[in-house]
């Protein structure tokens, strides 16, 4: 996963304290323990979003299947580990983001997920392509689904790998 300077970061659209508090409250009430603020318009080619992630959120490893779907992730607050996997689920790489402004590119077709290593994380992410929930990402078959009872154990095992 290459480092990135994250083109197109919307400094004029930085989150204010009120927006961060709203995202925090939404994340606490969310079953997935995360929330987002979408800042692109419906049907836009470049997707831009702020994510608020609590420590115990779990995202099933996945990949974005189209060649142009490189995901750029910039850390705004907290500590985040991003994992890259091979096609059978073995960890290939762990990228640690711990300073505001650090960013990476997760290339299309790379299996990946993350763990939150602080109380919470705020990220700014971009990815090209018009959002379609049917084609946006492919979920791994070798890791538990987000609602699976084994997800907590899998998340714990990932965090121990760092």
Query: Over the stretch 81-104, which tens digit does the pLDDT of each residue have?
Result: 999 999 999 999 999 999 999 999
Integer CA distances (angstroms), 125 to 53, 152, 161, in order: 13, 25, 25
Domain ranges of the chain: 11-161
Question: What mean pLDDT value characterizes the chain?
Answer: 91
For residue 9, the model assigns a pLDDT of 56
Top-tier CATH class for 11-161? mainly beta
Query: Over the stretch 10-57, which tens digit does the pLDDT of each residue have?
Result: 554 578 889 999 999 999 999 999 999 999 999 999 999 999 999 999
Whole-prediction pTM: 0.89
CB-CB contact of 85 with 92 (8 Å): yes
Specify the residue for token string 């077709």. Answer: 109
State yes or no: pLDDT of 6 exceeds 90.
no
Distance from C-alpha of 141 to C-alpha of 137, rounded to nearest angstrom: 13
Alpha-carbon torsion, ordered 22, 13, 68, 6, to 10 deg: -110
State yes or no: pLDDT of 130 exceeds 70.
yes
CB-CB contact of 82 with 104 (8 Å): yes
φ/ψ bin of 67: left (φ > 0), alpha (ψ from -120 to 50), beta (otherwise): alpha
């Amino acid at each position: 996963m290459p480092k990135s300077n994250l083109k197109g970061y919307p400094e004029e659209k930085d989150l204010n304290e009120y927006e961060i508090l709203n995202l925090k409250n939404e994340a606490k009430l969310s079953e997935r323990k995360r929330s987002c603020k979408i800042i692109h318009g419906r049907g836009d080619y470049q997707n831009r979003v702020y994510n608020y992630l609590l420590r115990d959120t779990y995202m099933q490893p996945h990949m974005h299947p189209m060649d142009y779907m490189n995901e750029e992730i910039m850390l705004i607050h907290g500590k985040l580990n991003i994992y890259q996997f091979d096609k059978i689920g073995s960890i290939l790489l762990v990228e640690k983001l711990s300073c505001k402004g650090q960013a990476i590119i997760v290339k299309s077709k790379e299996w990946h997920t993350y763990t939150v290593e602080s109380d919470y994380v705020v990220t700014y992410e971009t990815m090209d392509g018009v959002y379609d929930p049917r084609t946006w990402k492919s979920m791994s078959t070798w890791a538990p689904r987000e609602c699976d009872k084994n997800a907590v154990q899998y998340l714990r095992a990932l965090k121990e790998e760092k």
